[in-house]
A and B are shown apart, each in its own frame.
Chain A
Amino acid sequence: MKSLITTASERKRPFFPQIALVWRIIFGTLFVITLLLGGFTTLKPVVVLPRITLAPGFNLVDQTGAQISNEQVRGGIALYNFTYSGCIDDCPQTTPLMAEVQARVAQLETGGIPVKLVTISIDPEHDTVEQLAAYADAHNADPDIWRFATGSPMQIKSVIGGGFSTYYTEKEGKIKFDPAFMLVDGNGILRAEYRTAVPDTAIILRDINLLVEEAHNSTGPQKLAYEAAHLFLCYPD
């Protein structure tokens, strides 16, 4: 009789450990997924720059008198800044940094992706094509990399003020502006803003490299990893 009772209890017992096993596996799987997601967001195997918004459209003229538009720049990475040729003394100096980036960009391995610099004048009434040509020469601008743009005051306002949300104004003949640099990717999407007169050139170059890597790698199966990086805000520190 004793053995009979034992056998009956053994028949029932296995059921509970098995159910517990199911739960262990469920929680184990969820734990592993959480761990993977946590690891992805912490370790950041893929780092991206945020897709902030669309960069503005424009149709201006450059220092050679040729047309320069956002559609011409599309397909390559572009760094923009906004200043004017008369910005000399009491004025945020952003052009020297563009000159430095120009020198460094020439040494970058981009795998065929063009990197361009565009300086848009915030004083179009004085910055004529000739004036910009002289200004470009003074800063050793290579016209294949670095172009200077001007246009009508309304066009300029819509691009810099409306599109790049950068403030500038003229009061009593004196121009005041918020110094800013904007990095735009090949799809015409604004990817980084540097709202200071002297951002770190190394950071700008790091960001250009991130865009180059993304352009080369974010196709096919790797696209999912890049989308996940955007979702989990895997931005550079």
Chain B
Amino acid sequence: MTTISEQPEVQQKKRPFRTILFILVGLAVGLALGWLLLTWLMPPSYHGQVINAQTPVTNFTLTGSGGEPVDLIDFRGKVVLLYYGYTFCPDVCPATMVELRTAVQELGSKAKDVQVLMISLDPERDTPEVLEKYVTHFDPSFIGLTGIEEEIIAASAPLGIFYEREKGSAASGYLINHTATVMALDKRGQLRLLYPFGTTGEDIAADLRHLIRE
């Protein structure tokens, strides 16, 4: 009888440890759920400058490699990387194009959901053929677009692109100073991210994964 009557006391002594254990488990589960809720609510941490455009970028029409008209809206459903440059560009453009190639290669099979468009700011020298040869040298999926001066302005000015012709050397001919940012448009055609010159392809790829998933 003595042994039986002592059992509740033993149980009482054990309870605090069990209670602590349950509190810890409860806290862990609560925090995990909280974390999941936060990650679901919070936007991904992008490497690019975030822009909350509520409407798609205004459509523009340029000329593709075969001389055919190409519209920006033709790429709805894909994440679009827009870059403005020119094929005679000695430094900034090829360096950026290499990073864009890295970004696309990093994505592997997901790369099919991304389209890189390079828009020429030098339509005088960048014929569709010249441009195609240039962009496909970096990646066969890249598309180069050109057009007449008015079309180029319509496609570049609304997106904050500045450019001007500058005298170069005898070998290079004239140069073009231009804004060297890369823009990422989501599948709905809305401007989402801005990358300054020097952003790595790996960082761009990390952001693109989020945009592709949307």
Contacts and interface: CB of A to CB of B under 8 A. Distances in A.
Interface string B5-39: 10110010001001100110111011101100110
Interface string A104-140: 0000000000000000000000000000000000000
A29 B33 contact: yes
B157 A162 contact: yes
Interface residues on B, range: 35 or more
Contact of A4 (B4, B22, B183): B4
Interface stretch (B45-53, B93-101, B199-207): B45-53
Interface in A5-40: 6-7, 10-11, 14, 18-19, 21-30, 32-33, 37
Q: Interface residues of A: mostly helix, strand, loop or mixed?
A: helix
B162 A57 contact: yes
Contacts of B34: 29-30, 32-33
Interface residues on A, range: 35 or more
A188 B27 contact: no
Contacts of A163: 157-158, 160
Contacts, number: 132
B191 interface: yes
A205 interface: no
A230 B158 contact: no
A90 B210 CA distance: 51
A18 B33 contact: no
Contacts of A59: 162-164
Contact of A158 (B37, B55, B153): B153
Nearest to A158: B157
Contacts of A187: 49, 194
Contact of B156 (A28, A57, A228): A57
B171 interface: no
Interface in A33-81: 33, 37, 50-59, 67, 69-71
Given A11-B11, A22-B29, A27-B30, 14 more contacts: A14-B18, A25-B27, A29-B31, A37-B41, A53-B53, A54-B159, A57-B157, A71-B162, A155-B157, A163-B160, A189-B194, A227-B43, A228-B42, A231-B41
Interface of B: 1, 4-5, 7-8, 11, 15, 18-19, 22-23, 25-27, 29-31, 33-34, 37-38, 41-43, 45, 49-55, 58, 150, 153-154, 156-164, 179, 183, 191, 194
